[in-house]
């Protein structure tokens, strides 16, 4: 089931510097996701992805003043154990 509440990512946002270092094989990370240290947050104009490792902008989406529909709910699995 794919909804806005399940992982629907089909294109990861990756810091180009992190990607270069990971692909050079000089890191001990198993995946680029493990190596990445990204902060994601709202800004005055939209939403920014920031690389904590390199202290650089990765992606900054300008909402151009639009209020976009956003879902902050999450699905949690419960167990009876
Ligand atoms: Zn980086």
Taking only the tens place, the pLDDT of each residue in 41-54 is: 999 999 999 999 99
Distance 10 CA to ligand 1 centre (A): 20
Can you tell me the distance from the alpha carbon of 68 to that of 75, in angstroms, rounded to the nearest whole number?
21
Distance 48 CA to ligand 1 centre (A): 14
Q: Is residue 67 within 8 Å of residue 30, measured between CB atoms? A: no
Residue 81 has pLDDT above 80, yes or no: no
Position 77 scores a pLDDT of 84
Position 1 scores a pLDDT of 53
Distance 8 CA to ligand 1 centre (A): 23
Distance 57 CA to ligand 1 centre (A): 9
Taking the domains of the chain in order of start, what are their residue ranges?
Answer: 16-62
If DSSP codes are grouped into helix, strand and coil, which group holds residue 39? strand
Position 45 scores a pLDDT of 97
pTM of the predicted model as reported, rounded to 2 decimal places: 0.83
């Amino acid at each position: 089931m794919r909804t806005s509440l399940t992982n629907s990512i089909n294109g990861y946002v990756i810091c180009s510097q992190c990607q270069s270092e990971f692909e050079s094989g000089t890191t001990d990370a198993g995946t680029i996701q493990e190596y990445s240290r990204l902060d994601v947050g709202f800004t005055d104009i939209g939403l920014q992805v920031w690389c904590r490792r390199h202290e650089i902008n990765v992606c900054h989406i300008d909402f151009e003043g639009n209020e976009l529909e956003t879902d902050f709910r999450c699905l949690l699995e419960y167990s009876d154990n």
